[in-house]
Structure 1
Amino acid sequence: MRFFGLILVVALFAGCGYRPAAQVTQSVLGENVFIDVTINVQDPKNSVLIKDALKEAMIGRLGRNVVSKEQAQTQLYGTLGSVGFSATMYDQDGYVTAYKARVSLTIVTVFETGERETVRASGEYDFTIEANSVISDARRFEAIKNASVDALDEYIAAISIRGMRHGKHDQ
């Protein structure tokens, strides 16, 4: 019975034209990608975190090669828009026990054809701290990185939609 259920699920996905995002983005971005993130003078540490998160997303999630500008089929230029923290939960004494980190990014994609597309993406990450304490640098950087990964998921979705719209998902 499970075998038939599995066959049914596979047939549904195959029948509806499902393609994984990594496969669609491969046809849009190509195999080799160059990544550059503008370093924000007021927040250089966070800019470096964004660059690392972008590289991780390209390599780990999409299986792309991060290469030099000359070897790249596609170039990505990221800019950190803003980073913010807001309290989301308090204990019975009024101390903050949870925060939400918010990150906004602008990623300009330059395709092999020379065409450019700008995607503005934002991400969030919720985390807790001990009551009556401050956010440590390690927790702050971890939260920013995770919120950046969330924003990059939004970017990946936008690029996948572009691939579906332009018919590049069948290649």
Structure 2
Amino acid sequence: MKFFISVFMALMLAGCGYKPVSKITKEMTGESVYVDVIISKTEPKNSVWVKDAVKEGVVSRLNKTLSDDQNADMSIIISVGSLSYQAAVYDQYGYITSYRAILNLNFKTRLKDGSVVNITTSGEHDFSIARRLQNTRYADSVISDTERYEAIKEASKEAFDEYIANLALKGYQNGSRNR
């Protein structure tokens, strides 16, 4: 019975025109990628953290090599649209114990064929914060640099995953559907 179900699923996927996202993006992007981030004047450290997370995503998720601007098949210029922190969870005393980082990124992408695509994405990450006791009363909840870094990194990864999905969808819609 499992054999028949497996054969049926394989025929359904083949008949429906299923094509993996990795194959669609490979056809559009080439082998080498240049990544740069427009540094924010108000929060330059955040821009560097975003760049690191996106470079890691290019290498690990897309299996591409990083290159300089002149030798790259594709280039991605990222700008941080906004970064905000919202209180997510409060304790019984009304102190914030968890925040949600919300990051909006714009990816200006020059593809292998020379066309330029702008994709705006967002990523979120919930994280707990450390609270310190001060004179037996809870002190204000403060977000440390380490917590901010992890939140921005994880939100950037989520935004990058959304970017890959949008890029594949655009490629599929613009004629990469040929098998």
TM-score (normalised: structure 2): 0.87
Note the residue ranges of structure 1 that are not aligned, 5 or more in a row.
none
1:69-109: CA deviation from partner (whole Å, max 9, x where unpaired):
22211111111121110001111111111111011111111
Give 2:27's aligned residue.
27
Q: 3-state DSSP class of the match of 1:159?
A: helix
What is the percentage of aligned positions where both structures have the same residue?
Answer: 40
Spell out, residue by residue over 1:124-157, the C-alpha distance to the aligned partner (whole angstroms, 9 max, x if none): 1112224554222111110011111111112111
How large is the Cα RMSD of the aligned pairs?
A: 1.7
Q: How does 1:9-88 map to 2 (within 5 A)?
A: 9-88=9-88
Q: 2:152 aligns with which of 137, 144, 159?
A: 144
Give unpaired runs (5+ residues) of structure 2.
132-137
Q: 2:28·2:112 contact (CA, 8 Å) conserved in 1?
A: no
Superposed displacement of residue 168, structure 1: 1.3
Q: Which amino acid aligns with 1:19?
A: K
Distance in 1, Cα, partners of 2:113 & 2:15: 32
**Contact 2:105 2:159 (C-alpha < 8 Å) held by counterparts:** yes
Question: Does the aligned pair in 1 maintain the 2:108–2:117 contact within 8 Å?
Answer: yes
User: Deviating runs (4+, > 4 A) in structure 1?
Assistant: none
**1:107 matched residue in structure 2:** 107
**Equivalent-residue separation in structure 1 for 2:126 and 2:2 (angstroms):** 38
Count of residue pairs the alignment pairs up: 171
The answer to whether the Cα contact below 8 Å between 1:125 and 1:147 also exists between their aligned partners in 2 is: yes
Name which of structure 1's ranges 142-151 and 35-44 shifts more when overlaid on structure 2: 35-44
Q: Distance in 2 between matches of 1:139 and 1:69?
A: 32
Checking the alignment, whether the CA contact within 8 Å between 1:24 and 1:164 is kept in structure 2 is yes
Determine if contact 2:28/2:113 at 8 Å carries over to the other structure.
no
Cα distance in 2, alignment partners of residues 134 and 9 from structure 1: 51
Equivalent residue for 1:166? 174
**Greater share of helix:** 1
Higher-Rg structure is 2
Could you tell me how far apart the structure 1 residues matched to 2:102 and 2:87 are? 11
- Separation of aligned partners in 2, 1:60 and 1:120: 21
Aligned to 1:125: 125
